[in-house]
């Protein structure tokens, strides 16, 4: 038992150390941007100090011995103090997370990347319009477009440079290889298309992602919240002032292949050999389904190494909050606000009706394994791409990715606006009015009354928080009132007794 406790303590310490390493890497990457807090009372130095204090506290807690290893009074007191500090630090981390989500970023854009959906002819000319405007109004910006547009007659790069009166060298071209070789190079990415174009950007940047601004030019628009008609106004505001970005969570998916067990010549035990074959950082979801197999899939779902359930279904969807409006929603999953850090597990046509979708914390590491008892293989897809077959014993580990996907925020309620626009979320038909059947005289009275009522409702009320004074609720006056009521009750009882005595005397004389 002591050995298990020590092992659990070491595991927690390793987890904390991993968190600290990820935080240091993220903070070093974020230092390339100028960050200014939305709340003017908090400065950049305060946020940096809070991060430093949180790191020091977690290091101190992780380095201390486990309280369960000693039962002395001194260690018990030390354990209580440590747990109090741990709880206080956890609350401080939540407050720090809120401050980070409210920060605004000042973008110093020099290298701007444009990703266009090239299966629509009109988008060639819309891209040309956007590039020309950027070259004219922002001479410090170098624009990178898709390599396929370099010799495209519709885009006509040479003619475009001539019309904008700039050097053609300011129009450059990006490729997947160029992005892989230059991890932190672009300052802003603009997408022209739909949600699929945004997912394509996520697949291009498998590590650090620059802020992404998406214009709606597709069929659906959960992620594309900017209108292309207003690109001049919106881009001028973003390139010249501070902007707020939503740090959307991604999932890190590692695929492992199981090989035939090997026998250890020294111990004679079978050793299961697994090989890490691929890694994906996804924005929407990873789907493990039965593919073309006629048999129902049998998938073992583990959480932090513990078996949670064995899913007998057409498959499983492991989605991010961003992906909660995609495949997961169609399979019956819940909507999740994009800035909530959580992992959604949604079954696809489960064999049991009791298998409902569940939302898990982002701190949990999931593992989906094809059972050795499964009658067929499974297939995995990552944001709808890179499908691979999983045989019996193969598995995928899923955890929160250290590389988030930042999107430029168009408005504070853009998510609610998007689901209302695309899904008619909670839209219902209003109660109909039958005033059209009124007579002319009653119509005039109705209209007069309606105008009067609308004016009364339109007056805004100011909310003021106030503590009630003692005069509003006086305990002494309440006691006096109770005493007076008790006296009145006693007087009523005496009168009732006297009446009874009088009644007895009268009846006796008769």
Residues carrying an active site annotation: 195
With contact defined as beta carbons under 8 Å apart, do 205 and 280 qualify?
Answer: no
Beta strands 142-146; 111-116: pairing state: parallel
Q: Is the dihedral angle over the CA atoms 364, 368, 372, 373 positive or is it negative?
A: positive
Task: Write the CA distances from 175 to 58, 318, 407, integer angstroms.
Answer: 41, 30, 21
22 φ/ψ angles, rounded to the nearest 5 degrees: -65, -40
State how far the Cα of 440 lies from the Cα of 445, in Å rounded to an integer: 9
Q: Which two tokens stand for residue 318?
A: 């492991």
**Helical H runs in 365-439?**
414-423
What is the pairing mode between strands 378-382 and 297-303? unpaired
Query: φ, ψ for residue 284 (rounded to 5)?
Result: -100, -75
Scored b (16 or more CB within 10 A) or e, 367-388 reads bbbbbeebebbbbbbbbeeeeb
Helices 73-101 and 44-63: crossing angle, nearest 10°?
Answer: 150
H, E, C per residue of 428-459: CCCCCCCHHHCCHHHHHHHHHHHHHHHHHHHC
Q: How many CA atoms are closer than 13 Å to the CA of 303, on its beta-carbon side?
A: 14
Q: Are strands 297-303 and 274-282 parallel, antiparallel or unpaired?
A: unpaired
Q: Give the CA radius of gyration of the chain.
A: 33
In the block, residue with structure tokens 């201390």: 64
**Do 361 and 350 contact (CB within 8 A), yes or no?**
no
According to DSSP H, which parts of 31-155 are helical?
44-63, 73-101, 121-137
* Residue indicated by tokens 């000042």: 106
User: How many CB atoms lie under 10 A from the CB of residue 361?
Assistant: 10
């Amino acid at each position: 038992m002591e050995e298990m406790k020590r092992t659990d303590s070491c595991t927690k310490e390793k987890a904390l150390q991993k968190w600290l390493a990820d935080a240091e890497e993220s903070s070093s990457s974020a230092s390339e941007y100028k960050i200014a807090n939305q709340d003017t009372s908090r400065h950049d130095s305060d946020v940096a100090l809070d991060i430093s204090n949180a790191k020091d506290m977690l290091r101190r807690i992780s380095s201390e011995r486990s309280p369960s290893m000693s039962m002395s009074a001194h260690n018990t007191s030390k354990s209580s103090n440590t747990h109090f500090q741990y709880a206080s630090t956890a609350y401080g981390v939540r407050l720090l997370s809120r401050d980070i989500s409210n920060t605004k970023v000042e973008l110093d854009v020099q290298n701007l990347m444009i990703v266009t959906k090239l299966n629509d002819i009109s988008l060639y000319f819309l891209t040309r319009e956007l590039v020309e405007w950027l070259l004219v109004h922002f001479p410090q910006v170098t624009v990178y477009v898709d390599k396929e547009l370099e010799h495209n007659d519709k885009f006509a790069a040479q003619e475009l440079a001539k019309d904008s009166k700039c050097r053609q060298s300011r129009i450059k071209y990006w490729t997947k290889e160029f992005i892989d070789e230059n991890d932190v190079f672009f300052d802003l990415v603009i997408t022209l298309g739909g949600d699929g174009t945004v997912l394509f950007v996520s697949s291009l940047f498998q590590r650090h992602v620059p802020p992404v601004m998406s214009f709606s030019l597709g069929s659906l628009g959960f992620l594309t919240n900017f209108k292309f008609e207003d690109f001049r106004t919106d881009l001028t505001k973003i390139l010249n002032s501070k902007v707020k970005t939503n740090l959307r969570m991604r999932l890190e998916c590692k695929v492992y292949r199981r090989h035939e067990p090997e026998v250890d010549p020294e111990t004679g035990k079978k050793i299961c050999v697994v090989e890490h074959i691929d890694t994906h950082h996804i924005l929407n979801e990873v789907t493990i389904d039965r593919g073309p197999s006629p048999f129902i899939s049998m998938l073992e779902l583990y959480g932090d190494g513990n078996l949670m359930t064995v899913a007998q279904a057409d498959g499983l969807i492991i989605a991010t909050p961003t992906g909660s409006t995609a495949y997961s929603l169609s399979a019956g999953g819940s909507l999740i606000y994009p800035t909530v850090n959580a992992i959604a597990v949604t079954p696809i046509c489960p064999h049991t009706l009791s298998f409902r979708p569940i939302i898990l914390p982002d701190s949990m590491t999931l593992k989906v394994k094809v059972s050795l008892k499964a009658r067929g293989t499974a297939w995995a897809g990552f944001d709808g791409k890179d499908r691979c077959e999983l045989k019996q014993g193969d598995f995928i580990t899923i955890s929160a990715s250290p590389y988030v996907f930042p999107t430029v925020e168009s408005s504070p309620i853009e998510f609610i606006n998007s689901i209302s626009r695309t899904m008619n979320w909670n839209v219902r038909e209003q109660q109909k009015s039958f005033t059209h059947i009124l007579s002319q005289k009653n119509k005039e009275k109705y209209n007069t009354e309606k105008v009067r009522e609308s004016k009364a409702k339109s007056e805004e009320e100011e909310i003021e928080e106030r503590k009630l004074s003692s005069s509003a609720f006086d305990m002494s006056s309440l006691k006096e009132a109770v005493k007076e009521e008790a006296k009145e009750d006693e007087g009523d009882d005496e009168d009732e007794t006297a009446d009874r005595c009088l009644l007895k005397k009268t009846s006796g004389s008769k």
